[in-house]
Amino acid sequence: MITDAQDGIVVGHVGIEVKSLNRSKKFYKTLLGALGFSVIMETKEGIGFSNGIFGLWLGEASEPRVTRKAPTGEEFVVADHLAILVPDKRIVFETERKMIENKFKPLFPCEEHPQFEPGYYAVSFCDPDNYVVEVYTRQKPKPL
């Protein structure tokens, strides 16, 4: 029986269908590059990124199956939302800085979200297809 993350259960990769691969590449190369990801494969049909633990794959749809509207900020839960956990606030700040430097405006800027849990600190962006990508950190649990 698997009892905790130490037993090795993690999400290995996520695939995202995009309308325009070329349009999405700059967004994801900037965001994931700030987090230490590398491009591990790139073709005219798609691109894959990895940090050695987690992978993100983008593929252009010949005929998009879903169209998303940008969130308003009033939603309790944002569907099609990818949240990437990082070790500390410095990485959240640096990611926001690099994204803004590359002309990507945060959907929700760096800030604390104590309503989620103490120490929850995040920045969120909408990709070109209105998927929400959040980079966050949280307070490390205290040892028992």
Q: Is 6 helix (H, G, I), strand (E, B) or coil?
A: helix
- CA separation for the pair 136, 117 (Å, rounded): 12
Confidence check: pLDDT of 110 > 90: yes
Q: Which is the CATH superfamily of the domain at 5-137?
A: 2,3-Dihydroxybiphenyl 1,2-Dioxygenase, domain 1 (3.10.180.10)
Confidence check: pLDDT of 66 > 80: no
Confidence check: pLDDT of 37 > 70: yes
Confidence check: pLDDT of 1 > 50: no
Tell me the domain boundaries of the chain.
5-137
* pLDDT computed for residue 70 by the predictor: 79
pTM summary value: 0.85
Between 9 and 94, residue with greater pLDDT: 94
- CA separation for the pair 119, 18 (Å, rounded): 33
Full strand arrangement of the beta sheet holding 108-112: 81-85, 132-137, 121-126, 108-112
* pLDDT computed for residue 6 by the predictor: 59
* Chain centroid offset of residue 92 CA: 11
Confidence check: pLDDT of 73 > 70: yes
- CA separation for the pair 100, 91 (Å, rounded): 14
Residue 23: band (very low, low, confident or very high) from pLDDT cuts 50, 70, 90:
very high
